Amino acid sequence: MIGLISATAAGTAARDRLAAAWPDRTRVYDGLVGEAVRAAFAECEQLVCFLATGATVRLLAPLLGDKAADPGVVCVDEGGRFAVSLVGGHGGGANELAREVGALLGAEPVVTTATDAVGLPGLDTLGFPYEGSVAVVSRALLDGEPVALEAEVPWPLPPLPTAPQGSYTIRLTDRAVAAGEREVLLRPPSLVVGVGASKGAPAEEVLGLVEEALREAGLSPKAVAELATVDAKSEEPGIVAAAERLGVPLVTYPAEELAAVAVPNPSDAPLAAVGTPSVAEAAALVRGGELLVPKRKSAARPAMATCAVVRRPGRGRLAVVGLGPGARDLLTPRATAELRRASVLVGLDQYVDQIRDLLRPGTRVLESGLGAEEERARTAVAEARKGHAVALIGSGDAGVYAMASPALAEASDDIDVVGVPGVTAALAAGAILGAPLGHDHVSISLSDLHTPWEVIERRVRAAAEADIVVTFYNPRSRGRDWQLPKALAILAGHREPATPVGVVRNASRPDESSRLTTLAALDPATVDMMTVVTVGNTATRDIAGRMVTPRGYRWQASQEGVQ
């Protein structure tokens, strides 16, 4: 809950806008400002104070306790120009809140936490449980001191400006080691604990067994991702309570699925009770991984609980990201987020240049020149297989005549893949030309490097016969100059010489140009590889210099009736 406090009329107006926008997330504290701040501080996770920072600091000072537990506080000034993250930038989420409030009220977010200010992710905000000297190691990163990353378990991490060796370390480990003075431990969710229990097994017995198994194997409870068991035990109170106390989800599997898992220690008892010769080991191993602790029983007599511990390999993550046609404001926020999340970026050098300023310090950039497409795809997949978070970029949409298909042809199911759509050239050009794609349309690439010309020609012919609007990608290069005239001639066999044709070069880039011409008048020599050519169908018109394909042909009939 976000507590809202204001004092003046302007502050109250801004406060009400926030309250109206986020009715379920906010609560208004009226009355005397001092009391309102005290009450909100006690009751809410976050505060937005429409007050001067000075006044807010004085009111908060006696209330402040622990930075891990205090609410995050954002101040908005009287003019609504700034949303200042005042207290609890990371732990209290005030930095993020300042950005959100800023976006909503049109105020500039002000974030002074050092790591955020220079684009470094805070070590305490990476989404992993952490231990050790966050302040000391963050300082070292900021000061450019060598900080080594020691990833004992491969796991997709955001970029960190680390060095091969250093006197400071960030250690990604699921082992129960203590952090050194110049060290931060990050806990990956790599451990799965399989548990079995007889009916009525006490929670203490289950929990005690799990904790003992982890302790004796030298593993950290903070790295436990989930407890796993058989479906029949999904409501066994001792198991449910143990998962709750460990703060992890309980995942269950059907007995038949567990029965099919090869385990070192099967037995008859669970087979008779729930239909699988192994519960703990099988539930821990069912999604793969390395068995670190084979089945063990609790010390109680009779023993009512079993457990086994497995380390799952980290799954790498491949984001296939479309950057849009060029302009920064046509790059989607989701694409930006993926670029900042990846520790490895793979792409064509000219596209990397387009977004280099968005990358976080420490991002490993693997760029290559034109061609080398297969190699880029292979590299991206290989890096993801090593457990990294990888972004593979392409202009426009990365799935349209671009990197997504060669990459996914290489990828197996041992990595996660996410696609981020981008504004493809045909759409960017369409918006510039008017509304050429108002009815059925196709894109056809005229590049015959990978596709035989007969195939391309057959498709152009089909589009011509079907009276579909066509956008040509890769229309013409120095070495390929006869394909475009040939394709246009095929279309001209089915469309009037006056059919509108839109030519857009470098859509949304600084040297953008466009022109509306006709099938008869288009000079192919003015077209190059930075261009798309959109040919209208028999209904497409030039209306006030804009290319318009009607949505339905009834409209066309009525237009013609008027003429």
User: Which residue lies nearest ligand SAH, judged by its C-beta?
Assistant: 396
Q: In 88-242, which ranges are E strands?
A: 108-110, 130-132, 147-151, 168-172, 183-186, 191-197, 224-230
Which residue is associated with the tokens 């990353």? 149
CB of 324 to ligand SAH, least distance (A): 8
CB under 8 A, 24+ apart: contacts of 129-134? 129/186, 129/187, 129/222, 129/223, 130/184, 130/185, 130/186, 130/187, 131/179, 131/184, 131/185, 131/187, 131/222, 132/179, 132/180, 132/183, 132/184, 132/185, 133/179, 133/181, 133/182, 133/183, 133/184, 134/184
The yes or no reply on residue 36 touching ligand SAH (CB under 6 A) is no
Interacting span for ligand SAH (CB under 6 A) from 238-246, 455-463, 470-478, 486-494: 470-478
Shorter beta-carbon distance to ligand SAH: residue 105 or 402? 402
Burial environment of residue 300 by CB neighbours within 10 A (0 to 12, 13 to 18, 19 or more): middle
The yes or no reply on residue 395 touching ligand SAH (CB under 6 A) is yes
The yes or no reply on residue 473 touching ligand SAH (CB under 6 A) is yes
Cα–Cα distance between 247 and 262 in angstroms, integer? 29
Interacting span for ligand SAH (CB under 6 A) from 40-48, 54-62, 175-183, 394-402: 394-402
Write the CA distances from 507 to 54, 127, 530, integer angstroms.
49, 38, 9
CB of 341 to ligand SAH, least distance (A): 22
Write the CA distances from 535 to 141, 324, 386, 494, 507, integer angstroms.
55, 22, 46, 12, 17
Interacting span for ligand SAH (CB under 6 A) from 18-26, 176-184, 229-237, 504-512: 504-512
The yes or no reply on residue 402 touching ligand SAH (CB under 6 A) is yes
The yes or no reply on residue 507 touching ligand SAH (CB under 6 A) is yes
Site for ligand SAH in 135-154 (CB under 6 A): none
Contact (CB, 8 A) for 78 and 11: yes
CB of 355 to ligand SAH, least distance (A): 14
Cα–Cα distance between 359 and 338 in angstroms, integer? 10
CB of 443 to ligand SAH, least distance (A): 9
CB of 513 to ligand SAH, least distance (A): 10
The yes or no reply on residue 425 touching ligand SAH (CB under 6 A) is yes
Pattern of binders to ligand SAH over 511-530, x per CB under 6 A?
Answer: ------------------xx
Contact (CB, 8 A) for 464 and 493: yes
Shorter beta-carbon distance to ligand SAH: residue 4 or 547? 547
Shorter beta-carbon distance to ligand SAH: residue 121 or 326? 326
Interacting span for ligand SAH (CB under 6 A) from 138-146, 151-159, 312-320, 505-513: 505-513
Peptide bond into 302 cis (omega under 30): yes
CB of 352 to ligand SAH, least distance (A): 15
Q: What 3-state class would DSSP assign to 408?
A: helix
The yes or no reply on residue 397 touching ligand SAH (CB under 6 A) is yes
CA 295 to chain centre: 37
Cα–Cα distance between 486 and 492 in angstroms, integer? 10
Taking alpha carbons only, the member of 497, 502, 541, 552 closest to residue 520 is: 497
Cα–Cα distance between 173 and 551 in angstroms, integer? 59
Choice from 474, 483, 499, 540 touching ligand SAH (CB under 6 A)? 474
Contact (CB, 8 A) for 131 and 154: no
Choice from 252, 405, 506, 514 touching ligand SAH (CB under 6 A)? 506
Shorter beta-carbon distance to ligand SAH: residue 128 or 401? 401
CB of 77 to ligand SAH, least distance (A): 40
The yes or no reply on residue 351 touching ligand SAH (CB under 6 A) is no
Choice from 424, 483, 499, 537 touching ligand SAH (CB under 6 A)? 424
CB of 430 to ligand SAH, least distance (A): 11
CB of 465 to ligand SAH, least distance (A): 24
Choice from 504, 522, 535, 548 touching ligand SAH (CB under 6 A)? 504
Q: Is 545 left (phi over 0), alpha (psi -120 to 50) or beta?
A: left
Return residues touching ligand SAH (CB under 6 A): 325-326, 394-397, 400-402, 424-425, 428-429, 473-475, 504-509, 529-532
